[in-house]
Amino acid sequence: MFADYGVLNFWAYVVGAMFIVLLPGPNSLFVLKTGMSQGIRAGYLAASGVFIGDAALIFCAYAGVATLIQTTPILFTLVRYLGAIYLLILGGKIVYNAFQSGASEDALPTAAGQRVFRKALILSLTNPKAILFYVSFFVQFIDMTYDSPGIPFLILAAVLECFSLIFLSVLIVAGSYVTRLVKASKRAQRFGNTLMGTLFIGFAARLALSNA
């Protein structure tokens, strides 16, 4: 379909991209949690942070930053631990807030919206393995003899971001709907927030303990 633009096996890439987007991770979990606790608008603010962060990582992969990280173990380890620490702090805050009797995230003033966006952006950017993954995955579908390799890279990135938009939109709307169903149950809200906070802590441990 896009062979004339340097893209190989486009439909195989589409299937692979769909599975990649559907895999659970801290980004999608944060968007889901935000949509559940603060509503659809806040959910899309979080999603926009993820989109921009992923776009930046994809550009870094194309620009060769992935090679720098791969050949500099200290840099990779530093970024990996920074990401793990951030996930740990975020998960701890979610669990802590779940047990605060007066805590409420229903309202979304401008400052809170900025915090949501910033948290999502940092979550996306503090994942050095994503850069390496984008290179190793995208390169399989790019014709290296094509005159402008940036064009197929852009096409593949756009497809991935479109799938991400659809999936995160489903999470946001579904999360907001589920919240309305259980809003009267403080116990259910506490359990859900505790579970999500624990998952973030688990992501932090996995990132810190995993090898390059």
- How does residue 52 score in pLDDT terms, banded at 50, 70 and 90? very high
Q: Provide, rounded to the nearest whole percent, the portion of the chain with pLDDT above 90.
A: 9
Q: How many domains does the chain have?
A: 1
- Report yes or no on 98 lying in a domain: yes
More confident residue, 194 or 193: 194
Only one residue has tokens 């096996």, namely 9
pLDDT tens digits for 84-136?
787 788 778 777 776 775 444 544 455 566 788 988 898 888 876 677 777 67
Nearest to 20 by CA among 58, 48, 46, 56: 58
- Report yes or no on 33 lying in a domain: yes
- Report yes or no on 8 lying in a domain: no
Instruction: State yes or no: pLDDT of 207 exceeds 80.
Output: no
Instruction: State yes or no: pLDDT of 47 exceeds 90.
Output: yes
Quote the domain boundaries for residue 91: 13-209
- Report yes or no on 2 lying in a domain: no
d(CA 75, CA 71): 9
The pTM of the full predicted model, rounded to 2 decimals, is 0.74
